Structure 1
Amino acid sequence: MAEIDDYRKKIDEIDKEITRLFEERMDVVIKVGEYKKQNNLPVFNKAREDEVIAKNIEYLNNKDYAEGLKDFFINIMNIAKDFEDKKLVEDARTKTECRSESGDDKSNIKVGFYGVAGSFSEEAMIKHFGKKDDAKAYDEFEDVFLAVKNGEIDYGVLPIENSSTGAISQVYDLLYKYGFYIVGEECIKIDQNLIGIQGTKLDNVKEVYSHPQGFEQSTDFLKGYNCWKRIPFHSTADSVKLVSDLQDMSKVAIASKRAADIYNLSIIKENINNRSENSTRFIVISKELELNKDCDKVSVVFSLEHKAGTLYKLLRHFAENNINMMKIESRPMEKGAWKYFLYVDFEGNLEEEQVKKALNLIEQSSAYFKLIGGYRKYTH
């Protein structure tokens, strides 16, 4: 008995040291998590995890323990990831509650949008935040992200998807590049119109200006006027402003009636978009994740290893947890040919148990994973 008691005493001493080292490791994990948050890095990095496991297996004197050590590190890293994920959500909840308790409202925040006065993005901004005379306008999608990054604005509003032409790929790529969160969305019905200065007739037109999306949404109408030179511009509303500045009957723009009214121009031909039901979804971006009980939509991005069945195995977590997947969008990675990021939107709240369970399983099944946001989906 004395011998087994000695063994148990030795194990107790080792366990005590393991506990001390576990606590020390978790303290470092918190610091790593803060660094990742400040630098917009994902919680999960499979390449790093594989490297940690392989390196520590090399340290083993008895390689018979290799599989057990691998499982040990997988478990301890899953514990760390779960802790980081929970902290991210708890911090978001705390900050959202603090803003609410301190009386922060939409009138005190700094907001920016893509385009100029009269743009569809401005319309989405007004729908979400109310009219803001101090809202800032930006010429390029990336300018909005840079403004959020540099603290010029708290929130940015820009388009991400059109019902006729699909995803706006550049915005998805910028979400990944800057690591920002989606904290809201709006849907705006888009009616494209041919706009010119007073007195302009179709026979006068030689050049037409618009954002590429404006052209793409109006291809059926434009087929009848192949002689017109199509000139892409920053945004549809920017195009109207240019036509107003030029005061030339040979130059027209494709944009909204609201933009025409703002710049005192005439509608030459209304509703020229291909589809009568033409809408664009706009997102509200922020550096900080936000969370509240009204959130009913979640967005994530992940990548998969090139192995048979990986996508099926991952997507089944949605079905098994009774979660409705609303959209999936793929974007190529910058590094590695034929490798893709998958952006997924689904219904749910980050506080719901089935959502927590599904996200945990998806994260474990992914080569790369990042939560993009939990927010309230648009209402018609």
Structure 2
Amino acid sequence: MSEIDDLRKQIENIDEKLVYLLSERMKLSGKIGKIKQKNNFPITDEKREESVRLRWLSLSQKYGIPESMIDPLLNLIFSYSKIFQINPSYIKKISIIGYGGMARSLISLFKISSQEVVVTGRDIKKAERLASEFGYAYMEPYKAVEWGEIIIITLPPSGIVSDFMKKLFPYFSGKKVIDILSTKHSIFGFLEKMSLENNFNYISSHPLFGPYLYPVGEKIAVIPSITFPDSKEILDFWRNCGLFPIQTSLENHEKAMAVVQVLPHFYLMALSKSIELLAKELDVDFSNFQTTNFRDIYKIIKRVNDLHSVIMEIQELNPYSQKARELGMKELNNLYNEFLGEKK
């Protein structure tokens, strides 16, 4: 056996030990998950994650491993540890109306929490494609509504008030109905009215994460309505699926979204355009000169640009958006004038 073959054999032995140790780590995570579920603890423990991260970074320095290698590895371990911590105590029949990014994200979550799911929508072919991706069934809208215990509407505001949905609402009678819109102000009242007229229980939710797969441990806002005032069942449902639910009021939710969505997105859209114009004005290709901070910011800008229609929807519909933009412009001008003053 050559020297290189011998070294490769040693690597294979280490690889097997690594996989075995990962397996043992995930088993322990599963045990922790059962304890968390019993005590209604959230799956994500940010203080614990930070403590583990700092320990890993210390160990990486001790053993000469680059920090840039540790971070992505640890992020993967955190993500899959959370998946192993999901221990669904009950199974629900869930009908998803819609087939966009957030529908896909929630369905992936329901898949790993062993929920029963049917996908439907106006375009049944799109519903079929999304359902088949996760091994679920699709049905015609009326059949899907009849089948499900919980109906989750993943449509945009225009879709919720469309003729398609207005014809479907009478079939919601006796069901528990959830929307997942980012901005609630205009649609919440409409769905509450529909729930009163059509005898269904409406409660609103807002996933506080983007449209990515397996969002275990993420937070989701829950807003009760007059036809679903006791949110415990839905809080337990989201917790059972691996999310961390937060109950709030409609008004508080909209104010919070003005801070965490409207204002940052406003700045990021302006920053995106400014970068493009400045690079053109200076006639420079900056792609090879990106700093670490710029690279991180640019990734966020790309995500915002990819979700342009949703971002604009939030800007238009949040009742505090104008106030947020005015304050943002005021502070930007103050900062600009501060730099002008320094020049003088």
TM-score grouping bracket, smaller chain normalisation: 0.3 to 0.5
RCO (CA 8 Å, sep 6+): is it higher in 1 or 2?
A: 1
User: TM-score if structure 1 supplies the norm length?
Assistant: 0.32
For the pair shown, which has the larger CA radius of gyration, 1 or 2?
Answer: 1
Q: Which has the higher strand share?
A: 1
Identify the structure with the greater helix proportion: 2
TM-score with structure 2 length normalisation? 0.35
